[in-house]
Amino acid sequence: MKAYDIAIIGAGASGLAAAIEAKRTAPQKSVAVFEHLPRVGKKILATGNGRCNLGNLNADTHAYTNRSFARHALTEYNAESLIDFFESMGLFTRADGEGRLYPLSNTAASVLDALRFECERLGVQFFCDYKVSTIKKTNSIFNINGEYSAKKIIIACGGKSSPAQGSDGSGYPLLKNFGHSITPLAPALVQLVTDTAKIKALKGVRASAKLTLSTGGEAKGEILFTDYGISGIAAMDLSRFVCPDKKAILTIDLLPDFDVKKAKSAVFAAAKHNPGLGCEYLLGGLVPKALGTAVIKSALGFLPKTAKEISEESAKKIALELKGFTLTLKGTKSFNDAQITKGGADVRQFDAHTMMSKTVANLYACGEILDVDGACGGFNLAWAFASGRLAGKNAATA
């Protein structure tokens, strides 16, 4: 049976980062990475619409779930450290106005290449097309599928989201078999499914909005109306707050920078300015035309023919609707469409300073398999890289 010092299960962002950090910490130790897809890091290629938003300058202060657990990794391996980590492999980055980090090449493939070439340079051994389905520990040695052994194991299998990219949830049973608990799992950073009666004519319409859920949670940014509900960055961010079993009302503020008074003045002024204007054009200076029409219909129950029919009272109703266009939330799209998994291995059973299990010595976990998640903007890869590096360093040191 081939024996390794450190075995890493999963060659995604966190697994590759763990492998690099382990080898850099202890070059003499043997490190193997087991990946059930035919190639390593497939998901990285799909990130950031093929551009890979690999981190965020504000990740160390971002509101992750289980933030207090995540803090240590994100402080030790903060944005500066992440930039240096990639520069040490020859990959340079740039930040956009919101602190989102991208490779200077603007292609996700160059991020994956940097990671895998560094692994190869350091002598990490890859086993692709190799699914790990059982890990047993006997006399302090881990046995993988009855075929390989390792002194240390790092579980970096990701969650259940986007299974086409390898993360099919098969990492959870590996941890469960060691007595670890898994908190409830749900798709997140995923599109919202709503009642569509009010938005039937809006497919493809984009707007800038603030979204609020009646059960708690809000998000601001671009939204995209679809034939099933709402997509766009703000909708994806809000999905982290959706409780699958609770009915909720989604309120869309289409003029987040206006108060109701200012919105009413704008609507009434537009009506007064051109009384002969068709009402479908009335809100054209505030929101896209089709959305304006839907808002007026929802506010007044019908679409008046021309602007001269808009009274001050109607203008107020329209303004209130612009500030609070509501839809009934039915849920979210599935794990197949989700960027991340909400929930995961209970972080109370892991040491935040090392990523090692508190109950099974020399068993580590990192990345999305743990119950830590962040908003869109590079925060999830930042967590994957930081926690992977922390696990890799500690597995190689201890």
**DSSP code of residue 355:** -
| Burial (CB count within 10 angstroms: exposed 0-12, middle 13-18, buried 19+), residue 313 | exposed
Least distance (Å) between residue 217 CB and ligand FAD: 19
Kindly state whether residue 380 participates in binding ligand FAD, applying the rule CB under 6 A.
Answer: yes
106: alpha, beta or left? (left if phi > 0; alpha if psi -120 to 50): left
- Nearest approach in angstroms of CB 138 to ligand FAD is 20
Nearer to ligand FAD, 37 or 248 (CB): 37
Measured from the CB atom, the residue of 268 and 379 that comes closer to ligand FAD is: 379
What minimum distance in Å lies between the beta carbon of 35 and ligand FAD? Answer: 5
Which CB atom, from 111 or from 271, has the smaller least distance to ligand FAD? Answer: 111
3-state per-residue secondary structure call for 23-87 = HHHCCCCCEEEECCCCCCCHHHHHHHHHCCCCEECCHHHCCCCCHHHHHHHHHHCCHHHHHHHHH
Nearest-angstrom CA–CA distance, 305 and 180: 63
Q: How far apart are CA 340 and CA 333, in angstroms?
A: 12
Give 319 or 355: the residue with its C-beta nearer to ligand FAD.
Answer: 355
Figure out which of the listed residues 7, 8, 31, 37 binds ligand FAD, where binding follows CB under 6 A.
Answer: 37
Q: Which residue stretch of 45-53, 71-79, 179-187, 246-254 sits at the interface with ligand FAD (rule: CB under 6 A)? A: 45-53
Residue among 20, 32, 53, 230 that touches ligand FAD (CB under 6 A): 53
What residues numbered 158-177 form the site for ligand FAD, per CB under 6 A? 158, 161-162, 165-167, 170-171
Determine which residue in the list 10, 187, 304, 344 makes contact with ligand FAD, applying CB under 6 A. 10
Non-local CB neighbours of 88 within 8 Å, separated by 6+ positions: none
Q: Give the CA diameter of the chain.
A: 86
DSSP 394: H
Binding footprint of ligand FAD on the chain (CB under 6 A): 9-15, 34-37, 43, 46-48, 52-53, 131-132, 156-158, 161-162, 165-167, 170-171, 339-340, 367-368, 378-381, 384
